[in-house]
Amino acid sequence: MRRYARVALGLLVAVVFGDLQAAGSWVANAPETRVSLTGRETASDALRPVGMQASDQAIHSLTWRYRLAPGSNLSVRLCHPAGCVPLSAMRGTTHALEGLAADEALEFRFFLPEGQRPETVGDLQVIVNHR
């Protein structure tokens, strides 16, 4: 019976440490984006994972940042091919896309309301934590 308990404990440890080793993250940056079309979304360049080994990983959390001029009136979303999340601040963390494929490219999408002046968005970055 002790032998079975040791084998079971060994398997449990292997599973737990295997999951810990499988977790990871990737960081991507995009060049500044000029948003000049009113009433339409403008997408940033794609933010892609580089060197990600496992294609079966899922997003756990996303951290983002971007920079806008003070007083900006842009609506901003962070998008994955399977869905988007609205962003209410220029930096933050979300679990809203948790469970989606972590090896997919992301993009920021900006909406410039009618009557607003064009804007440039800079310092675009995402950090994707995955498991």
Establish if 7 belongs to a structural domain: no
DSSP per residue over 77-117, as a string? EEEETTEEEEESSSEEEE-TTTTSBTTS-BEEEEEB-TTPP
Establish if 52 belongs to a structural domain: yes
Per-residue pLDDT of the chain (131 residues; tens, 9 = 90+): 554 444 443 433 333 444 444 589 999 999 999 999 999 999 999 999 987 665 789 999 999 999 999 989 899 999 999 999 999 999 999 999 999 999 999 999 999 999 999 999 999 999 999 99
> What pLDDT is stored for residue 54 in this prediction?
57
> What pLDDT is stored for residue 38 in this prediction?
93
> What pLDDT is stored for residue 53 in this prediction?
62
Structure token pair of residue 127: 């950090």
Structure token pair of residue 51: 């060197």
Asked whether 22 and 131 are in contact (CB, 8 A), the reply is yes
Establish if 10 belongs to a structural domain: no
* pTM check: above 0.85: no
Establish if 9 belongs to a structural domain: no
> What pLDDT is stored for residue 15 in this prediction?
37
Residues in the chain: 131
> What pLDDT is stored for residue 55 in this prediction?
74
Question: 97: domain CATH number?
Answer: 2.60.120.260
Residues spanned by the domain of 29: 24-130
Establish if 17 belongs to a structural domain: no
How many domains is the chain built from? 1
Dmax of the chain from CA atoms? 76
First to last CA, the chain: 34
